[in-house]
Amino acid sequence: MKLRHPDAARQISRAAIIGAGQMGLGIAYVTALHAKVPLTLHDPSPSVLSSSLKRLDKLFERDVEKARISREEAEAARARITGRQGDGTEGGLEGEDVDLVIEAIPEIPDLKIKLFSRLSALLPPPTILGSNTSSISLTRLAAAASREEGQSLTNTNEGNAQAGRVVGIHFFNPVPQMKLVEVIPALQTSPETLERAREFGKACGKEVTTSADSPGFIANAILMPMINEAIIVLEKGIATKEDIDTTFRLGMAHPMGPLALADLIGLDTCLHIQRVLLQETGDTKYRPAGLLVRMVDAGWVGRKVGKGFYEYD
């Protein structure tokens, strides 16, 4: 494909992924295997980091067993991933020559805003600052990247360069299986950044769609109300969880029903997304079901803890 912007042709030759939860590890996997880009995977929790690295070993091993890739390819891909404890900003990325950072930390606006502000101080443009956010405004994250210690750089050359390299690069769970990346430009994102993000998504083996920076973008503006309605149907006692999910699996040919899908995404993540959607739009269609809130309060947040609407080994 012919690239419209000369800067967009610059290869991503080194990346960093911040957050080694289920999304971060999946992004690391496709980046190392398909895009063939060496990367560091950062997480503040040593136990999350070490279990993610073990999970990566297993994913590569299974690819070899299933003859999808050779042992040499698996070893080369695994060798491209280095785990590093921390959130990337302290004793992490300073002085590193990375072309792309993707954060996949929890879907909490204040956490992401702080991270973008610290990353922008640490890594000068043109390093792309990507976010795997499912719902948070990229424009707000880009604004955070163009602020220095409380000082706004808006409308300065430096501020525009800082904000212009921020972009949403939204993967889907489980990342190795889902064939989509949603790319979301902030109002400030430069055309070069947008194009490089789209090219990166394709290099990871994904179809790429583009959404304006609107609450929930394409996917979650539509998916979250569906999941929430399914929880309300359960809460009202209209049907069992099994019948709700069977309706979607057999009646609409979805690979899994909305309650099983909520367990896969994580009920905490679903709640965070819905709170952002409600706050951003003021539209009560995004008000989280009471049962969702209570399940998160109980810690029953889905597959990752072994219990959500269903139980898992």
Q: Return binding residues.
A: 19-24, 43, 107, 112, 134, 173, 304
Closest approach of Cβ 285 to ligand CAA, in Å?
A: 17
Cα Rg of the chain (Å, integer):
20
Nearer to ligand CAA among residue 226 and residue 238 (C-beta)? 226
In whole angstroms, give the CA distance from residue 284 to residue 270.
Answer: 16
The catalytic residue positions are 134, 170, 182, 220
Q: Which is nearer to ligand CAA, 84 or 254 (CB)?
A: 254
CB atoms within 10 A of CB 281: 14
CB 183 to ligand CAA: min, Å: 13
Query: Is residue 265 at the binding interface for ligand CAA, with CB under 6 A as the rule?
Result: yes
Can you say which residues are annotated as belonging to the binding site for NAD(+)? 19-24, 43, 107, 112, 134, 173, 304
Distance of alpha carbon 168 from the chain centroid:
9
Torsion angle of alpha carbons 88, 90, 95, 101, nearest 10°?
A: 20
The reply to whether 271 sits near ligand CAA by the rule CB under 6 A is no
Integer Cα distance of 59 and 176 in angstroms: 9
> Residue 193 Cβ, how far from ligand CAA at the closest point, in Å?
21
What is the 8-class DSSP label of residue 154? T
Q: Counting contacts by CB under 6 A, is residue 261 touching ligand CAA? A: yes
The C-alpha atoms of residue 184 and residue 240 are separated, in whole angstroms, by: 37
d(CA 227, CA 231): 6
**SS3 assignment, position 101:** strand
Token output for 239: 């049907």
**Is residue 62 near ligand CAA by the rule CB under 6 A?**
yes
Asked if 29 is part of the footprint of ligand CAA (rule: CB under 6 A), the reply reads no
177 binding ligand CAA? (CB under 6 A): yes
Q: Using CB under 6 A, which of 256, 290, 294, 306 touches ligand CAA?
A: 256
Return all residues near 177 (Cβ < 8 A) that are at least 6 apart.
Answer: none
Burial (CB count <10 Å: 0-12, 13-18, 19+), residue 54: exposed
**CB of 178 or CB of 278, closer to ligand CAA:** 178
98 versus 265: smaller Cβ distance to ligand CAA: 265
Residue closer to ligand CAA by CB (options 212, 256) is: 256
- Supply 281's token pair: 């739009």
Q: Which stretch binds ligand CAA (CB under 6 A): 13-21, 121-129, 167-175, 200-208?
A: 167-175
Interface residues toward ligand CAA, by CB under 6 A: 62, 134, 172-174, 177-178, 219-220, 223, 255-256, 261, 264-265, 303
